[in-house]
Structure 1
Amino acid sequence: MLKLAAVLALVAGPAFAVGLEIDVTGEANGTIKIDLFEDVAPNHVAQITAIANAGDYDNVVFHRVIEGFMAQTGDVENGVVGGNMSRAGTGGSDLGNIKAEFSDKPFDRGVVGMARSQSPDSANSQFFIMFDAGHFLNGQYTVVGEVTEGMDVVDAIKRGQGQSGSVSGTPDVMSAVRVTE
């Protein structure tokens, strides 16, 4: 009987999942809970959790927000409240860039993906949350997780201007980001 229980535990995987809890302040106020996909993008999840555990995502703005598409944040170099907001979206962390971990998970509403430059292997700290499906991103960007609670908070994030989605004035902020298990 114990052997069967051990086999079932192995097949079922770990009893816990890694996630993020993001407290948002600004026009949007509340908490976003994200389940991170360790099995899909282990290197990306490791980097995100390391940055969050270091407190580097705290007080980082949503610098690029496009209606009907996504809200982007995570520039721990240039997107920190009180920093030079004109450069928000151009920086990353002190950690190296991550090789792409593309999967068959589609970019549906609530899916979290890693932002990058033109190089598929240039993701670092920035990520985005989808407002709506964006299947044109499938196989082009790494899916790292999915919102499990707080899509109403995501939907309330202050939108940016024009096609670039750059947020002017006072953007919404990830005031605190915690890793959960």
Structure 2
Amino acid sequence: MHPTRLIAFATLAAALATPAVAKDKLKAAGTQTTVAQYLPPALTADNTWKLDLSDGGRVVIQLRPDIAPKMVERVKTLTGQGFYNGLTFHRVIEGFMAQGGDPKGTGEGGSSLPDVPAEFNDLPHVRGAVAAARAADDNSANSQFYVMLQPNLKLDRHYTVFGRVVSGMPYVDAIQRGEPPTNPTRIVRASIGNGAPTAMQSTSTSTLAPAAPPAGSIGQ
């Protein structure tokens, strides 16, 4: 490895081990563009997305409006409308990811709102990462999302990562597998922060091209 890279890596490792001085260390090493990636902001109620699942668990996700503001705003808007209540995880691949957020349950549905422009970023597709599913068009994300069951860094900068599971990952692991599953796991209620979940909403009739996360053109 080139000596300069070794120095930068050592500085980064030291910074991550001592959060109080992390930003200064990263800046000195010339890696300030990765500060947001490795040092997420404090978890706040207004950026906490809670999914109560039919398998009996609650999944808590830290949203990242500092990295993907448009997609986070979309999730908050739809959650406030009760859009996600009752929807299934319709595409769940062992060792890969669990995809949900489609009112049709086929991978072709979305909300009645316009698609969200791509916000590709440096957040990695590690276990627990939450990202926006889309069709072939980079700017076709809408309501669908997926949660990574295992890391797959080949997807980085091809999909908008907008959050990460901070609690309840065992419940994500318990989501029923299949494309679609025979007895799919559902989102019973979705809520933001301390707000009360809204009542179940009727499904949208809008149609999108199949929203393929990760496995299609890029591969697992």
Match of 1:154 in 2: 172
Give 1:15 deviation, angstroms. Answer: 8.1
Corresponding letter in the other structure for 1:23? D
Match of 2:119 in 1: 101
| Structure with the bigger percentage of strand | 1
Q: Is the 8 A contact 1:158 1:167 kept in 2?
A: no
In the alignment, the residues of structure 1 paired with residue 123 and residue 147 of structure 2 have an alpha-carbon distance, to the nearest angstrom, of 14
In the alignment, the residues of structure 1 paired with residue 150 and residue 100 of structure 2 have an alpha-carbon distance, to the nearest angstrom, of 17
Kindly report which structure 2 residues correspond to 1:87-166, keeping only aligned pairs within 5 A, or say none. Answer: 88-160=106-178, 166=179
Q: Is the 8 A contact 2:124 2:153 kept in 1?
A: yes
Match of 1:174 in 2: 187
Q: Is the 8 A contact 2:120 2:160 kept in 1?
A: yes
Q: Per-residue displacement from partner, 1:139-170 (whole Å, max 9, x unpaired)?
A: 1000010000000000001111xxxxx12322
In the alignment, the residues of structure 2 paired with residue 15 and residue 154 of structure 1 have an alpha-carbon distance, to the nearest angstrom, of 20
Q: Per-residue displacement from partner, 1:35-82 (whole Å, max 9, x unpaired)?
A: 000000000000011000100100000000000000000013x13xxx
Does residue 58 (structure 1) correspond to residue 76 (structure 2)? The answer is no
State the identity as a percent.
40
Q: Is the 8 A contact 1:32 1:151 kept in 2?
A: yes
Q: Structure 2 residue aligned with 1:20, among 40, 49, 60?
A: 49
Give 1:14 deviation, angstroms. Answer: 8.3
Match of 1:3 in 2: none
Query: What's the TM-score, normalizing by structure 2?
Result: 0.67
- Structure 1 unmatched runs, 5+: 1-12, 80-87, 161-165
In the alignment, the residues of structure 1 paired with residue 133 and residue 118 of structure 2 have an alpha-carbon distance, to the nearest angstrom, of 11
Count of aligned positions: 154
Query: What's the TM-score, normalizing by structure 1?
Result: 0.81
User: Following TM superposition, where does structure 1 have runs of at least 4 consecutive aligned residues deviating by more than 2 angstroms?
Assistant: 13-17
| Structure with the bigger percentage of helix | 2
Give 1:180 deviation, angstroms. Answer: 1.2
SS of 1:103's equivalent in the other structure is coil
- Structure 2 unmatched runs, 5+: 1-40, 195-220
Corresponding letter in the other structure for 2:175? I
Larger RCO (CA under 8 A, 6+ residues apart) = 1
Corresponding letter in the other structure for 1:99? P
- Rg bigger for which structure? 2
